[in-house]
Structure 1
Amino acid sequence: MPTPVDDAHIPDFRPLIGASRAIGAHLKKGAVVIYESTVYPGATEEICIPELEKTSGLKWKRDFFVGYSISYGVSFFGSATALTQSSGYDLVKFFFLLTFAAAIPAIVSGGIAERARFWPQVAATALIVGLLYPFFEGMVWNGNFGFQAWMEAQFGHPFHDFAGSIVVHAVGGWIALAAVLLLGARRGRYSRDGGISAHPPSSIPFLALGAWILTVGWFGFNVMSAQKLEGVNGLVAVNSLMAMVGGTLAALIAGRNDPGFTHNGPLAGLVAVCAGSDLMHPLGALVTGAVAGGLFVWMFTLTQNRWKIDDVLGVWPLHGLCGTWGGIAAGIFGTQALGGLGNVSFMSQLVGSIAGVLIALVGGFIIYGLLKALIGIRLDPEQEHEGADLAIHRISASPERETLW
């Protein structure tokens, strides 16, 4: 049984704080590098500045004053004496979970790249991380609104999402789908006669670097989701590794050695295993990751080529669909019948996953729909042609590529 956190048992949170800080910084580097490697070179600053905003100033303030209170009912308006009780455990928990919340707008920005306006996206970020995300996060990880109690009463077990397949990834991916549909495709991406204009990655080496930076940071994200050092379990690390391997191999085969698919394969596997990484047998994690890798390749191709959904980085297939699969997979491979630790219900996982999808999709349409109606969310044609870096920020992220000197 874990040691209680009280005045008689004051744990040392310095390792957790250091791990949280390192993990968050590591994952942000990977996200920016993948974005830089994939989008049109003139749109790089459009991700770098929002990422700085999310991880430094405005994002922290919104979550500190609003979002965390919605999720966990903890107010930071009290005295410093109250905040530092139990060695400031609530502050440390806030610091760690902040990195999860910051992932949501980062996921969204990958789908709407190259044509979204800057300030409306900042406003959307405020609404997402201050209201929408904490609403569902609190339902799952704090039992708000009786959600988990109802699930347990109906299906025998509460909804289980250890590291955020649904709470973080599926929510971010389905919000992104709403934003992408409301924005429309990039100009010139699809022609009226049904033709498709290829937009290849701008740097395959950067794509590989970003993917593997994310992969390394992911192990810290998953393992430290125990939120207490005595709760850390090597099973989570091994399952993360196995899912990564499964996703990589499946994407390599299904994607026919395409580097874009291959380097996203491990991310697909890691997204899917987050929910049940503390329950599954490693072989179950391998299968979960493999299904996710194949699912990403198939659905990315289908959305881009058949459905004409211009999701630039494929964040809906990668995070939205693979995350949804991961939530359901925890109810399959987490059961004792398939080698897992048990204490999980397939129906709880199915219903909880669907709830996350619906809340994210409806919330995304409401937020981006209101912003589109009130202030507009898309760059004008001239700005889109010039690129957001020069049109909005008046500087290029890669001046060596510019010819007009």
Structure 2
Amino acid sequence: MEHTHIGGDVFFLLTGAILVFAMHGGFAFLEAGTVRHKNQVNALVKILVDFALSTLAYFAIGFPIAYGISFFVSAHELAGLAGGNVFGAQGLTLVKFFFLATFAAAVPAIISGGVAERMKFLPQSIATLALVGLLYPLVEGIIWNGNYGIQATIESLTGAKLHDFAGSLVVHAFGGWVALGAVITLGARKGRYTAAGRSHPFPPSSILWLSLGSWLLCTGWFGFNVMSAQSLDSVSGLVAINSLMAMVGGIVTAAIAGRNDPGFVHNGALAGLVAVCAGSDVFHPIGALITGGIAGIIFVRGFHICQERLRIDDVLGVWPLHGLCGLWGGIACGIFGLERLGGMGGVSPVAQIVGSLVVAAFGAVAGFAVYGVLKSTIGIRLDEEQEYRGADLSIHKIGASPEAEIR
């Protein structure tokens, strides 16, 4: 029975890892549909290569930093066949790594959408290695593994640890605020704003690809949230219903605030899901619905402020979507997670507010630092002619429709 139980946990986590891995296809198609046609190939290649580099960096450096476990041991020990080893029977830790690696790889996938259409390929690859190998694991290890005693200190001061069940802060807020630093450092696309400062938006290349990306992300997100329980004993239907309600809330409010714009509607679903990650295990479904609904409005308003008032050329709106909605999700956990508001309790508003702001600030500093160093050393931006031709031909030497282009 014990072997069956462990095998069930292995299969459970493996299924979750596959679902979250499929989300990276969603990131790719969302970006491919949002950018101009001459940059579609670059969007697809970037996401796949970033996933590969993230996995390597997380395997060699990131996971050991976050959890203190190194994979440089014998395969016999990795499979859990050596007595007393840390990998667990049937290689449970190995599928845990796979599952968490898909989370880690979401950080560069988030950033990719912000820096699209003018970022050089090599610097983005180096940034991925630095972020996933060194900086992201610090946040992950502190919040999810209690590293450095910081969570214990927060609990002693506020009565509860910083709660982030599935990554509103660890993944989305961190990635979104890194993206803000990257986008500002990189600068706007040529022609996006006139010399007088007027906005000149570029239309997306394909609403169909954009929509497919959103659907893939929404589907995989139930693996992202529900299977963050990481075991059959801990899995809860409450997480599933809260994720569903937050997604619905984000869709409805984004449709209203965005006046039925398909880009806002499809990203509104993602805004709700980003925000519910932190408290999906402690919310009442109505609290999740409100959290997601507010997130939908935050995205629509935040996108306009970012693009039009601040004139920050964040192509996919990843800072409002992941940075602001992730920040809101961390704070909302300390509100709607309270028992008096129908939640499960065990959360502190003070811990959630302060912790969320610290994660966001660390992400922004990391973004400016990593991309600032790369800009001052090897350069991060395509030259004007390359940008005009598009990243597809400039970097990959082929367009999205080669046969049609030959004709």
Interval containing the TM-score (normalised by the shorter chain): over 0.9
What is the identity, as a one-letter code, of the residue corresponding to 2:30?
A: I
Q: Does 1:78 pair with 2:81?
A: no
Verify the 8 A CA contact 2:192 2:199 in the aligned structure 1: yes
Deviates most, 45-54 or 201-210: 45-54
Corresponding residue for residue 100 of structure 2: 97
**Residue 44 (str. 1) matches residue 47 (str. 2):** no
1:178 correspondence with 2:175: no
Q: Which residue of 2 aligns with 1:224?
A: 227
Q: In the alignment, residue 64 of structure 1 is paired with which amino acid? A: F
1:231-252 Cα distance to aligned partner (Å, 9 max, x none):
1100000000100111001101
Offset, 1:78: 2.0
**Residue 10 of structure 1, CA deviation:** 3.9
Whether 1:371 aligns to 2:374 is: yes
Q: Equivalent residue of 2:119, what SS?
A: coil
What amino acid is the match of 1:91? L
Q: Which residue in 1 is equivalent to 2:85?
A: none
Of 187, 209, 212, the residue aligned with 1:209 is 212
2:54 to 48, 51, 59: 59
Inter-partner Cα distance in structure 2 for 1:25 and 1:340: 30
Is 1:328 aligned with 2:327? no
Code of the residue aligned with 2:64 in structure 1: it is S
Name the structure 1 match of 2:157. Answer: 154
Q: Give the counterpart of 1:34 among 30, 33, 58.
A: 30
Counterpart-to-counterpart distance in 1, 2:236 and 2:33: 34
Figure out how many residues of one structure are paired with residues of the other and give that number. 399
Superposed CA RMSD: 1.6
- The 3 A distance-change label for structure 1 pair 9 and 262 is closer
1:248 is the counterpart of 2:243: no
**1:15 to partner: Cα distance:** 2.0
Does the residue aligned with 2:105 lie in a helix, a strand or coil? Answer: helix
Q: Is the 8 A contact 1:13 1:92 kept in 2?
A: no
**CA displacement 1:241-294 (0-9 Å, x = unmatched):** 100111001101111111111111110000000000000000000000000000
Q: Deviations over 1:370-399 (max 9, x none)?
A: 000000000000000000110111011233
AA in 1 matched with 2:336: F
* Structure 2 length-normalised TM: 0.95
User: Is 1:259 matched with 2:262?
Assistant: yes
How do 1:326-405 and structure 2 match up within 5 A?
A: 326-399=329-402, 402=405, 405=407
Query: What TM-score, normalized to structure 1?
Result: 0.95
Q: Does the aligned pair in 1 maintain the 2:182–2:368 contact within 8 Å?
A: yes
SS at match of 1:45: helix
- C-alpha deviation, 1:9, in angstroms: 6.8
State the one-letter code of the partner of 2:69.
V
Q: Which amino acid aligns with 2:158?
A: F
User: Could you tell me which residue of structure 2 aligns to residue 238 of structure 1?
Assistant: 241
Residues in 2 aligned to 1:10 and 1:208: alpha-carbon distance in whole angstroms: 38
Task: Kindly state the Cα deviation for residue 368 of structure 1 after the two structures are TM-superposed.
Answer: 0.5
Distance 1:160 1:21 in 2: 22
Do the aligned residues in 1 keep the contact of 2:13 with 2:230 (CA within 8 Å)? no
1:212 offset after TM fit, Å?
Answer: 1.3
Return the offset for 1:22.
Answer: 2.5
Equivalence for 2:314: 311
Q: 1:54 is matched by which residue type in structure 2?
A: D
Shift of 1:83: 2.1
Q: Give 3-state SS (helix, strand or coil) of 1:230's partner.
A: coil
Encode CA deviations 1:99-139: one digit per residue, 9 max, x unaligned: 00010000000000000000000000000000010011101
**Aligned partner of residue 12 in structure 1, secondary structure:** helix
**Displacement after TM superposition at 1:92 (Å):** 1.6
- Aligned partners of 1:249 and 1:290 also within 8 Å: yes
> What per-residue deviation string (whole Å, max 9, x for no partner) do you get for residues 281-337 of structure 1?
000000000000001000101111111000000000000000000000000000001
Deviation at 1:400, TM superposition (A): 5.5
TM-superposed deviation, 1:17 = 4.5
CA distance in 2, matches of 1:29, 1:318: 18
Q: What is the aligned-residue identity percentage?
A: 56
For 2:42 and 2:210, the matched residues in 1 are separated by: 17
Range that drifts further, 45-54 or 70-79: 45-54
Residue pair 1:143, 1:149 contacting (<8 A) in 2 also: yes
Unpaired segments ≥5 residues, structure 2 = 81-87
Residues in 2 aligned to 1:8 and 1:31: alpha-carbon distance in whole angstroms: 35
> 1:135 is matched with which residue?
138
Q: Deviations over 1:157-190 (max 9, x none)?
A: 0000000000000001000000000000000000
Report the Cα distance in structure 1 between the residues aligned to 2:203 and 2:34, rounded to whole angstroms.
7
Residues 20 and 95, structure 1, Cα contact 8 Å, conserved in 2: no
Matching residue's letter, 1:20: G
Q: Which residue of 2 aligns with 1:116?
A: 119
Equivalent pair of 1:280/1:330 in contact (CA under 8 Å): yes
Give the letter aligned to residue 313 of structure 1: L
- 8 A Cα contact 2:114 2:317, kept in partner: yes
